[in-house]
Amino acid sequence: MRDIVRRALDTAAQRGAGYADARLVRRRERSASVKGGAVEKLGSAESEGLGIRVLVDGAWGFASTGDVSGAAIDEAAALAVRVARASSRAGEGAVELAPRPVAQGRYETPVAIDPFEVPLERTVERLTRAERAMAVVAGVATTTAGYGALREWKSFGSSDGSDIEQIITHVGGDLEVTASAADDLQRRTYPESSGGYAAAGYEHFESLGLVERAPIIAEEVVELLTAPVLPPGRRTVVLHPSQLYLQIHESCGHPTELDRVFGAEAAFAGTSFLTTNKLDAGFRYGSPLVDIVADATTPGGLGTFGWDDEGVAAQRVPLISEGIFSGYLTSRDTASRLGRESGGSVRADGWDRLPLIRMTNISLLPRPGMTLDDIVADTEDGLWLEANRSWSIDDRRLNFQFATEIAREIKGGKLGQLYRNATYTGITPAFWGSCDAVADASTWTMVGVTNCGKGQPGQAMHVGHGCSGARFRDVQVGVGG
């Protein structure tokens, strides 16, 4: 693999690239799902190719090819240089790269049981048992149990001497059950609607407890069909990690992407309210209980690696410290504009996509003092919100609206009445500013997201979010119920 990378870099240099980096990626995936008593999907996918990024006179060009023959690699490298030169027809070409140490080494996701060595019938058998455990509950409409495993072998090289090998493995499994009435559809998922993935081996899938949890969510979805709709009002809400992770993702992860701040995504996903004048200016993002970090070294996170796709070493970057905005997710070419070094947040979705600033593991740190149960017990009048079912946020990441699968009344510190079709909405800094309790580490969970969309052409990134649950005051709920 390294010879192919080296050839691409050499060709780019010969064609005039001032800087180049190249990634040869081999990706292997396995997927299975059981639905309605039958195998719905059994799939295997393999892909291999090279992506090369070049800087010519301060302008970027990128080309990729699924053909890794010498001639095709040369052609891709030459095309990348031509593309970079074309960029100068509209622009000054002022890209500068923040310095980083030359990266050399190897990283591999710790795996106890290799998912690609486990016979698929073992997986299908477990999925079938979980799916049956949901299907036997009276009143359910559809029942699905799913599994997925992904492995990427990546060889990265750069014209300034970096040479890295990485093997990343992600495994997940999940359940979904629906119940339907004339004008309503209810859904329950487990562990989360995002698929239950972790950076781990097959042992993660076996630890999820799908078969044990299946009847519980099936009974919940049937109960939801006849539950009252959540009435509108301003309420105290306690967010379970299965909802809180997406609140972090949308209202803390994306706004801190520095390329968004600089307008790189303005024509697609939008920009950010978190303009650079707010950095080192004491901008209050949340209450003093809110500590959020981007940590690419967290075990099990889908954003965990050895080096990012620019060869910057994995690290922990504080984003919000005791409620004060303290840092961005950065790349070499954006960090340089702030006079800083990259925090190592550049990632690409496969060999055929340009590396972009992406989340790693964006996590809300736990607070010693109260368990999540303690927070419920400490809440006189509120709502427990669990399991995301819908999300939306504006193009500067301020006005958000979420819906959850489960809402339960909290009265006198105890969970009570179940509601359906729960929604809540708010403005990002005001919402995080209303956080008055963060649970301790006993419920801290690393949630994997496999569908984080960004970029054109589109890229779907695997990212992680650790959180333990938290309470927020005076939140508008029950929109459009």
Partner 1 sequence: MSGPGNDPTMLEIADRSVAMALDADASQAEAVVIRSAESLTRFANNEIHQNVAASDISISLRFIDGRRVAVASSNRIDERALLDLASTAGEMARLQPESEAFTSLPTPAPITFVEGAWSQATAAADPELRADAAAAVIGAAKGIGAQAFGLCSTSSEEVAVASSLGVTATEPRARAQVLTVMTDDEGGTGYSERVAVDITDLDAAAIGSEAAERTAAMRDPIELAAGDYPVVLDGFAVVDIADMLGYVGFSALAVEEGRSFFEPGRRVGSDLVTLVDDSAERSGTPASFDYEGMPKRRVQLIENGVCREVVHDAQTAARAGVESTGHGLPAPNPWGPFPVHLSFAAGTTSSDELIGPIDRGLLVTRFHYTNVVHPKQAVITGMTRDGLFLIEGGKVVAPVRNLRFTQSYLDALSGVEAVSSERRALEGFLGTAVVPAMRIASFSFTGATEH
- Looking at residues 428 to 467 of the shown chain, list those that interact with partner 1 (rule: CB under 8 A): 456-457
Residues 160-199 as x/- pattern, contact with partner 1 by CB under 8 A:
------------------x-x--xxx--------------
Q: Bridge partners of 182?
A: none
Which ranges of 208-295 does DSSP label H, i.e. alpha helix? 210-225, 241-248, 258-261
235-243, 306-314, 386-394, 406-414 -> range binding partner 1 (CB under 8 A): 386-394
Determine, following the binding rule CB under 8 A, whether residue 119 of this chain makes contact with partner 1.
yes
Applying CB under 8 A, the site for partner 1 has a residue count of 81
The residues, any chain, with a CB within 8 Å of residue 480's CB and separated by 6 or more, are 423
What is d(CA 86, CA 83) in angstroms, rounded to the nearest whole number?
A: 5
279 binding partner 1? (CB under 8 A): no
Q: Which of 13, 120, 338, 377 binds partner 1 (CB under 8 A)?
A: 120
Largest CA distance in the chain: 73
55: contact with partner 1 by CB under 8 A: no
Q: Is 264 in the site for partner 1 (CB under 8 A)?
A: yes
Applying the rule CB under 8 A, the residues between 316 and 355 that interact with partner 1 are 352-354
CB of 124 or CB of 279, closer to partner 1: 124
Residues 56-75 that bind partner 1 (CB under 8 A): 59-67
User: For residues 6 and 16, what is the distance between their CA atoms, to the nearest angstrom?
Assistant: 16
Contact 142, 35 (CB under 8 A): yes
Torsion sign (Cα): 52, 330, 462, 428: negative
Tell me the closest approach of the beta carbon of residue 197 to partner 1, in angstroms.
Answer: 17
Q: Which of residues 396-425 bind partner 1 (CB under 8 A)?
A: 396, 398-399, 401, 403, 421, 423, 425
Binding mask 2-41 for partner 1 (x = CB under 8 A): -----------------------------x-x-xxxxxxx
Question: With CB under 8 A as the contact rule, which of the stretches 116-124, 202-210, 236-244, 409-417 interacts with partner 1?
Answer: 116-124
Select from 6, 57, 87, 378 the one that contacts partner 1 (CB under 8 A): 87
Secondary structure (H, E, C), 330-373: CCHHHHHHHCCCCCCCEECCCCCCCCEECCCEEEECCCCCCCHH
Q: Are 322 and 387 in contact (CB under 8 A)?
A: no
* Helix-helix angle 2-15:70-87, to 10 degrees: 40
Give the phi and the psi of residue 176 in degrees, each rounded to 5.
-140, 135
Does residue 267 interact with partner 1 by CB under 8 A?
Answer: yes
Closest contact distance (angstroms) between CB of 94 and partner 1 is 8
Distance from the first to the final alpha carbon of the chain: 55
42 contacts partner 1 (rule: CB under 8 A):
yes
- What does the per-residue mask of binding to partner 1 show for 224-263, with x meaning CB under 8 A? --------------------------------------xx
Distance of CA 318 to the CA centre of its chain: 17
Residue 45 interacts with partner 1 (CB under 8 A): yes or no:
yes
Residue of 433, 460, 438 whose CA lies nearest to 449: 460
CB of 422 to partner 1, least distance (A): 10
CA distance 432 to 140: 37
